[in-house]
Structure 1
Amino acid sequence: MERHLTVARTARYQQLGELSAETKHVWFVCHGYGQLAAYFIRHFAFLAEADPHTVVIAPEGLSRFYLSGSSGRVGASWMTRDDRLHEIQDHIGFLNQLAEKVLAECSTSVELTVLGFSQGTATVSRWLVQAAFRPAHLILWAGSFPPDIAPESAQALLRGLRLSLTIGTDDEYITVAQAEEQQTELLQLGGAPQLFVFAGKHTLDRPVLAQLAGLG
């Protein structure tokens, strides 16, 4: 018979910039499947460089693995289909604890942006439904809002929230048409998503990031 035991473990995250009472904007950015936070956060370095009052926090999925075979490059994952519900709750617990630590070092007026890329879009969406804070801006990049979130919980999160969907024209995993369908579904849940389409594949795009950050 399968059983479960809750244990303490060490989670890893990356940070750009120094948190203080002077911090005005914090970005929480969650990577996609098979990525590591140390590399993912590099895409956001220009945000912290442009504004010393901006801090970027990149949590890393708790499950790490070799990307090919039994050695070489390592990636991380937020969840798989195996023991899925426990992995989701473990990551929500990690992200809530991290947010509590980060926000304790900022003023109550700090503006929060949460971005999920690819697999990270489902992670941040499930997290925010249970988080103790409400972001100013949610960005779902090359991924989707998970359909298993209860409609009433989704509506409570999405109503009045600045919401951006971003997709490359040649994304290998999600089409522009699918992103447009997602936009319609989120509208039906009470959200007001704005869709950003750029020429590119399954990747982040600096000009769009700059635009979303108000730098473009």
Structure 2
Amino acid sequence: MQTRDRLFLPRDSMNEYYLETTVSGCYLVESPPGSGPFPLLAGFHGYGQTAEDELELLRNIPGSDRWIRLPIEALHPFINAKGQPGSSWMTRRDRDRRIAENVRYVDAVIGRVMAEQPVDGRLVLHGFSQGAGMACRTAVLGCHPVVGVMLLGGDIPPEIADCSRMRAVHIGRGDRDRFYPQKRFEADVARLREAGIEPVVSQFRGGHGPTAEYFDAAGRFLNKIGRG
């Protein structure tokens, strides 16, 4: 039985159980005008953010208006440091269990959108900060093949042994990003190259978040994928 990270010593008589239940996850769909079909751009927000935050980020990528934009909100809501509602993808507690649950959830969302919207079969994933890990897990562990992955300010999770299913990767970091250190960024670039992927690397002036320089680079990558 999987054990949790504990902050206390359990009594000898205490047993640990898990019960699966149903929770609701939110996602937004924004489609281009016309009948399509269109490529699909799914996005994963950062820690304490919402699907609306990720949608705003996706909207700022030049050329994304030719894609169905699908920001997906994490399943674990809370009030963030600004006193506003936000969500988290996971914590270190029950890590393996939460990864499996999140991947099943995202697979279900993408499957529904592909069934209900005029999607042409191309799927790109975008992840910011904590959402970068979910983009990687969805590409590698999920059931829907991708044509590309875009990572901003977040690392490739350590449990991913083979990155090759990510196909094409755009990876970005602000030069003053204290949450995503340069050494970790360089290690992720090396991991991708070891998997046979030559990533498009975007190092820009800024901190932990996108800038106009990042959006321009992301737009060029998305445009190239869209022509494929």
Match of 2:102 in 1: 91
1:35 partnered with 2:49: yes
TM superposition outliers: structure 1 runs of 4+ over 6 Å: none
Match of 1:63 in 2: 76
Match of 1:214 in 2: 223
State TM-score, norm by structure 1.
0.85
Give the aligned length. Answer: 207
The CA distance in 2 between the partners of 1:7 and 1:201, in whole Å, is 39
Q: CA shift at 1:120, angstroms?
A: 1.0
1:124 partnered with 2:135: yes
Give the 3-state SS of the residue equivalent to 2:127 in structure 1.
Answer: strand
The CA distance in 2 between the partners of 1:124 and 1:213, in whole Å, is 15
Q: CA shift at 1:27, angstroms?
A: 0.5
Match of 2:8 in 1: none
1:202 partnered with 2:208: yes
Give the 3-state SS of the residue equivalent to 1:196 in structure 2.
Answer: strand
Match of 2:59 in 1: 45
Superposition RMSD on alpha carbons, in Å? 2.4
State TM-score, norm by structure 2.
0.81
Give the 3-state SS of the residue equivalent to 1:179 in structure 2.
Answer: helix
1:178 partnered with 2:189: no
The CA distance in 2 between the partners of 1:79 and 1:85, in whole Å, is 10
Give the 3-state SS of the residue equivalent to 2:24 in structure 1.
Answer: coil
Where structure 1 has 5 or more consecutive residues not aligned to the other structure, the ranges are: none
Where structure 2 has 5 or more consecutive residues not aligned to the other structure, the ranges are: 1-14
The CA distance in 2 between the partners of 1:11 and 1:2, in whole Å, is 26
Match of 1:15 in 2: 29
